[in-house]
Structure 1
Amino acid sequence: MSVAHTDVTAQVSGPCGDEDCGIRDVLDRLGDKWTVLVLVELAKGVRRFRELHRAIPGVSQRMLTVTTRRLCRDGLVERTAYPTIPPQVEYRLTPIGRSLAETVERLADWSREHRTAMAAARDRWDAEHPGEPG
């Protein structure tokens, strides 16, 4: 094997090297429109479905149901249904859900800290590259 081939292979491997660390699964989950908002809200404590729905502007009941179901399936959220009339359902973060919510919070902090610098960099880029898609 040539050195050039080895260098190319090293550059092509993913963020975890040659192994599958699951980053695509995590990014797929975080990349949808509602997951981060649900995680942030549940980081504040246990919420009933209606409380979650009211706390997240713009989410439909159906999308909130789909999102919470996916988060439960991934082990990030725990759903507890109580046999009452009408049925009462509560959601809470699991330990790994709390860990992810803390990571998302750090990312939000980073975003707040660097958003002005990023906006300035975009403005410089756009001025230096007029007409190029950004």
Structure 2
Amino acid sequence: MLMKVNIKMLRLWVFFSWYAILALHTICKSAADQTPVTFTFKEYQYKDTPKNEMTFREFETACEQSSACSKMNGLTRMRCVRECVSPSCYKELYQTDPLEEGEIDVRLNSFKGCFIQRTGRTRN
């Protein structure tokens, strides 16, 4: 049994199929052409000792309880606390590229190193 094919519909289907293939090709090609961006930031050495952690944690706790940061939640609070702990270190490491939701904070140890260095409380 032969079916009647509507020529206009067939042409329209072919047109949209080719259009979809071309669009997909363009998207894939532009994604492949993108070069990865390397994230760089100033690195400070941080010696992870109980005394350094205790010093950092004391400041962090005080900032978490401060009137400026205590009413905030989530990422906003974390940013506020870091800036409170060390405004100069925060400015240097986070100001131009603030933490984003879900981002793994690869700058935290550098921030702690900067903080310990600038407070003059380096402990071994």
The alignment's TM-score, normalised by the length of structure 1, stands at 0.23
Greater relative contact order (Cα < 8 A, sep 6+): 2
